Structure 1
Amino acid sequence: MQQTNFTDIMEKNHMEIPWHDYTQNNGNILINQAGLIEKASVIGRVGLIMLSCGTGAWRVRTSMNRLSKSLGVTCTVDVGLMSIEFNCFDGKDCVSQSLSIANTGVNTSKLYRMEQFVDSFPKEEVHLTGEEIHKRLDEIERIHAIYSPVKLGLAAALACCAFTFLLGGGPVEMILAFLCAGIGNVIRTKLIKHNFTLFLNIAVSISCSCLLYSILLKLAEILFHVSALHEAGYICSILFIIPGFPFITSGIDLSKLDLRSGLERLSYSIIIVLVATMTAWIMALLLHLQPLNFTTLNLDPILLLILRLLTSFCGVFGFSIMFNSPVKMAAIAAVMGALSNTLRLELVDLTGMPTTAAAFIGALTAGLLASLIKNYNGYPRISLTVPSIVIMVPGLYLYRAFYNLGTMSLVDAFSWGAAAIMIIIALPLGLIFARIFTDRTFRYCS
């Protein structure tokens, strides 16, 4: 075993696990003939990588169970947001392990590769040694961000620009949101890359976006005589921070009674929203910005429909790239999002349907489309559904609720907050029922 200096290990708060040490004594023995500890190391590592991709407890447990069945092991698993506790026993011995990740995030590219690994395990990897399997997992773990910070900034810029139009903003707000969200997400990505803590990267990136929006709007007023009424768009420049993945996966986990994971993910989402909205509120006070209503665009209904399809596509594509999806996967999610989100908006406008019910139908549509597509190309449902409905998450409502709470306009705060909560509840419900309708394994609680 390679000797490692103790002080080098303790530089990280979460010590790295020497996975290959579990296999060095039995390097020529196939994994299905190896000892329980070696088998448990493979099962646990697969679950931990799945967890690091941002997927929910049900998918993590299902993947670990499939490996356990192939290896002749019984496995019981308890999954949280950033940790897994599990027991493996084979009728003779029992191994208990507690594993954790240093930080949580979303990586749909790695998730897709892991699902391929789990699907192929009974036919391929089960005939390899533990050392060979861990080498394959090493390669998968090295799949970090497949896009540079600049490209991720452009993705956030595109998403927030599209989000601005869908919320009612015009060309001025869209241009400013594009620039400010892009720069804000570049800063956020850089901070994440250097392992800065969650609160710091949220506060700094949101502050920079708000400050830049205020500066650019003032320059536009001076140089191009743009009205100050366009300041409402500053809210759209911070919507890249919306925790869509944990919001949705928390609802899915709660539906399967994975209360620990569901509540932890929900708490994580609420923390992000609170820190982001408080930072934006403080910046609004300092910069004298107000969340006013957007000016009416008065577009022809057919033109509005076309623009909604186009901007919904662009918005979902941008968010999907931010989740580290390959371009093809992002484009498929964008088509789904364009159809489901435009359907949601048209139902509200043409039928007067409450926004909560329309959000449910939009999410249900996205979930059904994802099931059809998975049967065709095998992409993980969650990698398609979450980006396609993130654009439906009411970030504007959440911010206005907090802003009015800060100014003690309690009636307005409650109104915006209640509307946001209802929509946030409706979105995972739509995906859950789509999954119930199309997936037998999800339909039961065995």
Structure 2
Amino acid sequence: MDHSEEPKARPRVTLSPNHHMTINWHSFDRQSDGPVTGASLTERATIVGRVGIIMLSCGTGAWRVREAMNTIARDLGLTCSADVGLITIEFTCFDHGRHYTQALALPTSGVNTDKLTVLERYVARFATDCVGLSVGEIHAQLDKIQHKPGNFSALTAGLASALACAAFTFLLGGGPIEMICAFLGAGVGNYSRRLMGARHITVTASTAVSVALACLSYLLMFKVLELGFHVSQAHEAGYIGAMLFVIPGFPFITSGLDMAKLDMRSGLERGTFAIMVIVVATVTGWLVALLVHFEPQNFIPLHLSFWVLLTCRLAASFCGVYGFSIMFNSPRKLAASAGVLGAVANTLRLTLVDFAMPAAAAAFIGALVAGLLASAVNRNTGYPRISLTVPAIVIMVPGLYMYRAMFNLGLNDFGVGGGWMIKAVLIVVALPLGLAAARIVTDSEWRHVD
């Protein structure tokens, strides 16, 4: 029997076992050596979607993801309409009456400012460097960006969080004892969180476990100092500093910026994610405090002169922002740039509070200054604004207020707990509003709706 006319069997493909199934992007490549501009609608649209989902994985907001997708689409002769969420993108590309739709999803939300910087530069140069390449060559380039390894080990990330949280503790009013305990607690906590992240542990579990370890490490260090040096029980006040490494700065800030641009789906999803992380962290910290009988109160006054305090705040703000930037995988130069920016903006905010300005108003001005400075640095270096502003703003997030609100609410002291909660909400709202105002002033594209 002659089988010469029977269709050839398709090659066997190993399908992804993951819950969020891995996409074989090279299956869209039909092995054509011609330029991508001559490829099929499906092949070109897939490149648009892949750029968008890689950028979304870096933690940036919906407007920037859509802008990158639009840039690639225009270079490929397509019209793109995209709906962007926290971890999902649904988009359609149109070409001469035809259209192609994809729905893409990530398994979790993360932050990677280094990869974001590389991808933004790739998108900016796509028209000159890539439109003459084949589909397969472009996917090979995107493979390198997508699988770009992190800049720092789990140990380095742990030390960065230790530095950031020790500095954060000083800025909240803590002294050397609180800073030493917070340094150990945050270092152990973030190191463990990185290890759990490498094993794909869900965000709620990794947040709860890492915060619990951070709190217990703070307790252990405090007891060692108490037994060895007879430090006062009042130094329990720095307990909150050990868990501040979990503050979800990128979702918090991009949530406000997305809603300012009426990307309500993305904004609400990001805001909900940030609230979930904070609730898990504060409840865990409160439960550990109950179990070990910790009752953090106000910090012991340091009684520093104005100029000494100003100098120390500048140094601590730089260290805090630098540490958070390293946690977000920023290259050291980018982290240092963010550190300088944050030192100026956060010290200004704290000084305004000292001069009796309401905390929310001072937070707005601090965020505005951070945004304006970030725009200037962006023009000179090309660093993404979000990679500069978020670390600077994270150190302004009122983690102490949030914890005290949860602590008192958990003890049924609703008056005190509600007061701390309202103060925290006002500051959290003011921070993205300040950044949005800076973007409106400095970015002509962002301030228009078209």
Are residues 1:381 and 2:385 paired? yes
Structure 1 residue 224 displacement after superposition: 1.1
| Counterpart for residue 420 of structure 2 | 416
Query: Which residue of 137, 141, 147 corresponds with 2:152?
Result: 147
| Counterpart for residue 106 of structure 1 | 111
Equivalent residue letter for 1:391: I
Q: What stretches of structure 2 of length at least 5 have no aligned partner?
A: 1-9
Equivalent residue letter for 1:436: I
Query: 3-state SS of the aligned residue for 1:128?
Result: coil
Are the counterparts in 2 of residues 232 and 289 from structure 1 also a CA contact under 8 Å? no
| Counterpart for residue 28 of structure 2 | 22
Are residues 1:53 and 2:58 paired? yes
Structure 1 residue 2 displacement after superposition: 6.6
Equivalent residue letter for 2:106: I
| Counterpart for residue 362 of structure 1 | 366
| Counterpart for residue 393 of structure 1 | 397
Query: 3-state SS of the aligned residue for 1:444?
Result: coil
> Could you say if the C-alpha distance between residues 5 and 17 of structure 1 is closer, same or farther in structure 2, counting changes exceeding 3 Å?
closer
TM-score after normalising by structure 1 = 0.98
Are the counterparts in 2 of residues 107 and 144 from structure 1 also a CA contact under 8 Å? no
| Counterpart for residue 31 of structure 1 | 36
| Counterpart for residue 170 of structure 1 | 175
Give me the CA root mean square deviation.
Answer: 1.0
Query: 3-state SS of the aligned residue for 1:122?
Result: helix
| Counterpart for residue 188 of structure 2 | 183
Are residues 1:343 and 2:343 paired? no
Are residues 1:71 and 2:89 paired? no
- Structure 2: distance between partners of 1:127 and 1:434: 38
Are the counterparts in 1 of residues 85 and 269 from structure 2 also a CA contact under 8 Å? yes
- Structure 1: distance between partners of 2:32 and 2:190: 45
TM-score after normalising by structure 2 = 0.97
- Structure 2: distance between partners of 1:115 and 1:217: 45
Are residues 1:433 and 2:437 paired? yes
- Structure 2: distance between partners of 1:401 and 1:445: 38
- Structure 1: distance between partners of 2:363 and 2:286: 27
- Structure 2: distance between partners of 1:217 and 1:319: 24
Please give the per-residue CA displacement for 1:104-156, whole angstroms capped at 9, x wherever unaligned.
10000000000001000111111111100000000001124210000000100
- Structure 2: distance between partners of 1:143 and 1:343: 37
Structure 1 residue 26 displacement after superposition: 4.0
Query: 3-state SS of the aligned residue for 1:13?
Result: coil
Equivalent residue letter for 2:85: G
- Structure 1: distance between partners of 2:233 and 2:428: 32
- Structure 2: distance between partners of 1:419 and 1:89: 48
Query: Which residue of 325, 331, 339 corresponds with 1:334?
Result: 339
| Counterpart for residue 160 of structure 1 | 165
Query: 3-state SS of the aligned residue for 2:340?
Result: helix
- Structure 2: distance between partners of 1:87 and 1:255: 24
Structure 1 residue 183 displacement after superposition: 0.9
Query: Which residue of 373, 376, 393 corresponds with 1:372?
Result: 376
Equivalent residue letter for 2:173: G
| Counterpart for residue 43 of structure 1 | 48
Equivalent residue letter for 1:434: A
- Structure 2: distance between partners of 1:46 and 1:305: 44
Are residues 1:232 and 2:237 paired? yes
Please give the per-residue CA displacement for 1:187-220, whole angstroms capped at 9, x wherever unaligned.
0110001101111111111111111111221121
Identity rate, percent: 53
Are the counterparts in 2 of residues 31 and 129 from structure 1 also a CA contact under 8 Å? yes
- Structure 2: distance between partners of 1:253 and 1:5: 38
Are residues 1:246 and 2:251 paired? yes
Moved over 4 A (4+): none
Are the counterparts in 1 of residues 234 and 296 from structure 2 also a CA contact under 8 Å? no
Structure 1 residue 103 displacement after superposition: 1.2
| Counterpart for residue 330 of structure 2 | 325
